Amino acid sequence: MKVIISGGGTGGHIYPAIAIANALKEINPAVEVLFVGAEGKMEMEKVPKAGYPIIGLPIAGINRSNMLANLGFPLKLISSLLRARKIVKDFQPDVAVGVGGYASGPLLLSASFANVPILIQEQNSYAGITNKFLAKNAKKICVAYPKMEQFFPASKIQMTGNPVRKDILNVAAKRQQAFEHFGLQPDKPTVLVIGGSQGAKTINESIDGGLTSLVNEGCQVVWQTGKLYIERAKTAAEVFKGKVYVSDFIYEMDLAYAMADIVVSRAGALSVSELCLAGKPSILVPLPTAAEDHQTKNAMSLVENNAAILVKDVQAREELVKVALDLLHDKEKQSTLIDNILKLGKPNAAIEIAQQVLSLVK
């Protein structure tokens, strides 16, 4: 049995894809999985690290801020379609899975033309342009939010949730290990700051500006900055040795969640799904430039259930640290957020999606 999984561009697409592949292998170890991504994007590094082969396409996304940068897009698209057609012909998949991102477009189109059944996994509450375009070719569409009938045919929709890493479940048991790993104190309230795999300029600048206030209030901070801000963050944290842990990327996210009393995060689909499973009081700062403002829509799905707090990006520099301190001091509010966010988690999403994938095999 052979499955192609395509998509990528950000961690929000890649990690669910790997989780689906792992679930397929868990159900049937004989399944052969091939990934198809975009050349030069992070999936070309992350997927092989997870133990799977990947082929890159020369496809690139449309640059909405500089239309002249799109002059080469038609050539890249044609080249990607031709290469995707050859990949499908050579690999002979029984089913193709798209997880969003522009890399999945050429591959799933080519698979569809070859009469290979297609499954789409849409992570966000607002469907991406590639998935909306591919929906008519898909047999099934797995979603994580209600009301997705506005984007997809209702008959194809399967409500599964987003697949996330298994190690995020039951993180409380790892609390002591987490403090030892990050070199922090187990008796101090801890703020975990994550800006997504690419980092987050506004969140970073807000934390940088409020680091002294957080430490003076008796807090400690685990701060994932992304590559662009790491040097500035290291300089800012230098005077707070043993109280602030800084890294451009945290691979041990299960340990980071284990020690966090509250979390400050962007509102990408993967981040929101992880927070629901980890059950952490969260302050979400949606990325305002995300396509169709989908991060705000993701965040509101929690806020409307009293399961998270929203701080707008434009207000973060003035408000974020104050809101974080208020939440740290309000144990009753923390408890309410934990109770409500846990109700929204879908711990078996990866297995459910894998079962849907296998159900399409002829």
As annotated, the binding site includes 10-12, 124, 165, 197, 250, 269-274, 295
Cβ neighbours of residue 169 under 8 Å, at least 6 residues apart?
Answer: 277, 347
**What are the strands, taking DSSP E only, across 9-84?**
32-38, 54-57
CB distance 213 to 325 below 8 Å: yes
As a residue count, the chain comes to 362
Quick one: which H or E segment has residue 356?
helix 349-359
CA 123/CA 66 separation, integer angstroms = 27
Structure tokens belonging to residue 342: 């846990």
Instruction: Write the CA distances from 119 to 48, 88, 98, 349, 354, integer angstroms.
Output: 23, 15, 6, 14, 10
Helix axes 201-216, 316-329, angle to 10 degrees: 40
Instruction: Write the CA distances from 45 to 15, 38, 87, integer angstroms.
Output: 12, 11, 20
Give the residue numbers of the binding site for UDP-N-acetyl-alpha-D-glucosamine: 10-12, 124, 165, 197, 250, 269-274, 295
Residue with tokens 């187990």: 186
CA 105/CA 267 separation, integer angstroms = 24
Chain centre distance of CA 239: 32
Residue 348 pairs in a beta bridge with none
CA 142/CA 68 separation, integer angstroms = 35
CB distance 267 to 196 below 8 Å: no
CA 349/CA 361 separation, integer angstroms = 19
Of 87, 49, 124, the residue nearest 287 (C-alpha):
124
Instruction: Write the CA distances from 114 to 86, 88, 93, 96, 147, integer angstroms.
Output: 11, 8, 10, 11, 31
CB atoms within 10 A of CB 185: 13
